[in-house]
Amino acid sequence: MQSHDIDYNILGDDMQIVEIGLDPGETVVAEAGAMNYMENGIRFEARMGDGTDANEGLMGKLLGAGKRMITGESLFMTHFTCEGAQKQIVAFAAPYPGKIMPINLAAIGGELYCEKGAFLCAALGTKISVAFTKRLGTGFFGGEGFILQKLTGDGLAFIHIGGTVVKKELKGETLKVDTGCIAAFTKGIDYDIQWAGGLKSMFFGGEGLALATLSGHGTVLLQSLPFSRLADRILRNAPSAGGKNTGEGSLLPGITSLFQK
């Protein structure tokens, strides 16, 4: 299925929004809850599946929805279609600080592998599926696990990358990366896991038990702020169960006391 030819405009710096311009009859598919605002001529509908297979039966849709649940996503995807007489705008927001990256799938060979949760939206005709890494070791020690999102098609797709984006072009080289910092990579890249080093380095080096190794020929997109790292820091500085905050310089106890008086 040929993807719809959509226009876009990215707004903001660290908390970005992408505005998608849809001509009459065009559709964009997005993760449930990603929409920020839309103009009056846009109709939206929650569906099982990305709409790439019009003849897909109920069992096929249920199987696809089950795979999406493995990645932690919603059972449904939301389809936004322009039903107005002229171009209409629908906008999608990033869930945490970072960058929204537009990916022209046709220009990179039609396939992109990204961490689960990275996909934001794409032109109708883009297939959003689940990919599993080939090696068992990757599954056990790969940080985000061996489950990846796979985007296939010939149109525009948008992914969200935490923090600063670093683009690496590999031409046969090998790159060692913290497992959580891998945002996406193209086909032609081999993804594997290696031990971080000696026992002392693994347990006391703060870099985890293993590092990801990326090799081959293709493009790798890295992120400086994985959501897992952000969530871990927030939890470490959050109020304890007894209502006391263990973080330094927190204003939360003082604010809470004002409401208790």
Looking at this protein, which amino acid is placed at residue 237?
A: N
Q: Which domain holds residue 147?
A: 7-234
Per-residue pLDDT tens digits for 127-183 = 988 887 655 555 555 445 467 889 999 999 999 999 999 999 999 999 988 878 899
State the DSSP string of 127-183: EEEEEE-S-HHHHHHSSS-SEEEEEESSSEEEEEEESSEEEEEEEEEEEEE-GGGEE
With tokens 């311009």, the residue in question is 21
Considering the domain boundaries, does residue 254 fall inside one? no
Reported as a single tens digit per residue, the pLDDT across 118-138 is 999 999 999 988 887 655 555
CA dihedral 209, 238, 12, 99 (to 10 degrees): 10
* Residue 255 forms part of a structural domain: no
CATH number at residue 172: 3.60.160.10
Q: What is the CA radius of gyration of the chain?
A: 21
Does residue 260 form part of some domain? no
**For residue 88, which of 27, 45, 156, 31 has the smallest C-alpha distance?**
27
The reply to whether 36 falls in a domain is yes
Task: Please state the domain count of the chain.
Answer: 1
Share of the chain above pLDDT 90, in %: 45
Question: What pLDDT is attached to residue 208?
Answer: 52
Strand ranges, E, within the chain:
7-11, 17-22, 27-31, 35-38, 42-47, 77-82, 88-93, 98-104, 111-115, 119-123, 127-132, 147-152, 156-162, 165-177, 182-186, 189-195, 210-223
Q: Is residue 247 part of a domain?
A: no
Whether 62 has a pLDDT exceeding 70, the answer reads no
Does 113 fall in a domain? yes
Token pair belonging to 45: 């509908």
Both tokens of 179, joined, read 């497992």
Residue 252 lies in a domain: no
For 72-118, the pLDDT digits (tens) are 556 788 999 999 999 999 999 988 889 999 999 999 999 999 988 89
Instruction: Give the tens place of pLDDT for each residue, 236-260.
Output: 777 764 445 544 444 445 444 444 4
Residue 253 lies in a domain: no
Averaging pLDDT over each range in 28-37, 53-62, 196-205, which range is the top one?
28-37
